[in-house]
Amino acid sequence: MQQLDVGLLVLRAVFGVFLAYHGYNKVFGGGGLAGTARWFGSIGMKWPLWQARLAATTEIGAGLLFAAGLLTPLAAAGIIGLMLVAIVVAHWKVGFFIFKPDQGWEYCASIAVVALVVATTGPGRWSLDHALGIHFSGWSGALLGGLLGIGGALAQLALSYRPKVSP
């Protein structure tokens, strides 16, 4: 169905390119990678420069793969993992709504759900996965994207997140 393929292409392109640009900004925006690392350190990340690099690389790589529809469940897993870590370390304590000061978790959760849905439906016919004959969709796409994303987030948090304890 052509409308579904167009819709998936637009959805993947918008969310993927926006996420990639977010990663680009971590490296080249404002305070650059050093500024991103300082912020990561301030929120309790154990190795802030390494994590700033990892976050930026994952945002750029997963975002571009997602936009292109290449290795879609793996790209979705990267996006899901990023968003879950962001929710835990920065947004959960603020509450649900993004318009609150310091932004709530609703937008990060929405991005993660978009990634999971695309991993589940597949990227559509207008994707590199389709052109290359790579077929992961349905339960296999959902499980691959969801479990790897959640597992990656849990591993990142367990290994490197040490939240500041308030007195």
pLDDT digits 0-9 by tens, 89-144: 999 998 888 888 888 899 999 999 999 999 999 999 999 999 999 988 789 999 99
Band of pLDDT at residue 166, cut at 50, 70 and 90: low
**Residues, the chain:** 167
Spatial CA neighbour of 63 closest among 48, 82, 45, 50: 82
Cα–Cα dist 164/167, whole Å: 10
Q: What is the pLDDT of residue 24?
A: 98
Note the pLDDT tens digit of each residue in 2-55: 999 999 999 999 999 999 999 999 999 989 999 999 999 999 999 999 999 999
The more confidently predicted of residues 57 and 96 is: 57
What's the pLDDT score for residue 136? Answer: 84
- Residue 11: predicted pLDDT: 97
Phi first, then psi: what are they for 70, rounded to 5°?
-115, 125
Taken in order 103, 79, 40, 157, is the CA torsion positive or negative?
positive
Cβ atoms of 84 and 111 within 8 Å: the answer is no
The answer to whether residue 158 scores a pLDDT higher than 90 is yes
DSSP H stretches of helix in 31-134: 32-42, 48-68, 72-86, 106-121, 128-132
CA 6 to chain centre: 22
Give φ, ψ of 137 to 5 degrees.
Answer: -155, 180
The answer to whether 79 and 64 have CB atoms below 8 angstroms apart is no
